[in-house]
Amino acid sequence: MTHPRTRPVLAGALLLALLASSLSASTYQSSRLAMALGLNGSYNFSIPSDHGNGFGGGASLLIALSRNFALELCGQYSQRATLGHMDAPQSSLSKGVLRQIPVQVLVQARLPIGSFPLVPYLTGGGGYAFNSFSLDEDMVAAYQSFGFDISESIDGSPVWCIGAGVDIIPISSLIINLHFLYRSSSAGGEWSISEELTGATVRGTLEGVNLNDMSLGLGLKFVF
């Protein structure tokens, strides 16, 4: 006869065995050809010292080509402050806010670990970043108080990515994703200062503005 105190232990062991069996089945199913829609949030660390860090988020479409390879189409939105360090004015943004929407196609090399419900992967690819910039409102107001209008803009730019991540698969229809991504990009732009009274304008260009960043993200993907 089973001792009463051992019954909770046996029940717990049975529950863990059933959970492990369920996770193993979902991992096996996840390795087959499938598609998944994802949503994620991230924190972005700027590589240039004159850009601040900031939160971002986005969406993705994952297409599993085989057990070990997948394609991912993803778009992200991020916004962060620029501090206006003018050590290299021709390749730096003034004080303001930088907004980016990089759209990327990534290739994943997936590394399933047997029937364990974790799938590490390496990823890399490229795309295009839609960039925009707005000057600090207080700085614009200060120039206007002296009779000048100022403007500054940045162009879109190609972007290259490399990173790694892990998919956690609690059930066959859901993936919890943790990832790291390094993005490399640089862009050009232009600036102008106009005198309100005479209309005289001075213009210039920006070249090679460093937009590199690192992203740490957490997301959910819904398999269908």
Q: Which residue has the tokens 């080509």?
A: 65
Domain extents for the chain? 4-223
Between 27 and 54, residue with greater pLDDT: 54
DSSP 3-state of 11: helix
Q: Give the pLDDT confidence of 125-134 residue by residue, as tens digits.
A: 999 999 999 9
Residue 164 has pLDDT above 50, yes or no: yes
Q: Which residue has the tokens 């106009």?
A: 194
Per-residue model confidence (pLDDT) at position 23: 42
Tokens of 36: 């998944």
Predicted TM-score (pTM) of this structure:
0.79
Per-residue model confidence (pLDDT) at position 21: 45
Per-residue model confidence (pLDDT) at position 207: 92
User: Contact 149/193 with Cβ under 8 angstroms?
Assistant: yes
- Is the CATH number of domain 4-223 1.20.810.10? no
Residue 212 has pLDDT above 90, yes or no: yes
Confidence of residue 84 (pLDDT cuts 50, 70, 90): confident
Per-residue model confidence (pLDDT) at position 50: 79
Per-residue model confidence (pLDDT) at position 129: 97
User: Contact 97/133 with Cβ under 8 angstroms?
Assistant: yes
Q: Give the pLDDT confidence of 181-205 residue by residue, as tens digits.
A: 999 999 999 999 999 888 899 999 9
Q: Give the pLDDT confidence of 29-46 residue by residue, as tens digits.
A: 444 548 999 999 999 999
Cβ neighbourhood burial of 213 (10 Å; 0-12, 13-18, 19+) = buried
Per-residue model confidence (pLDDT) at position 116: 85
Between 83 and 2, residue with greater pLDDT: 83
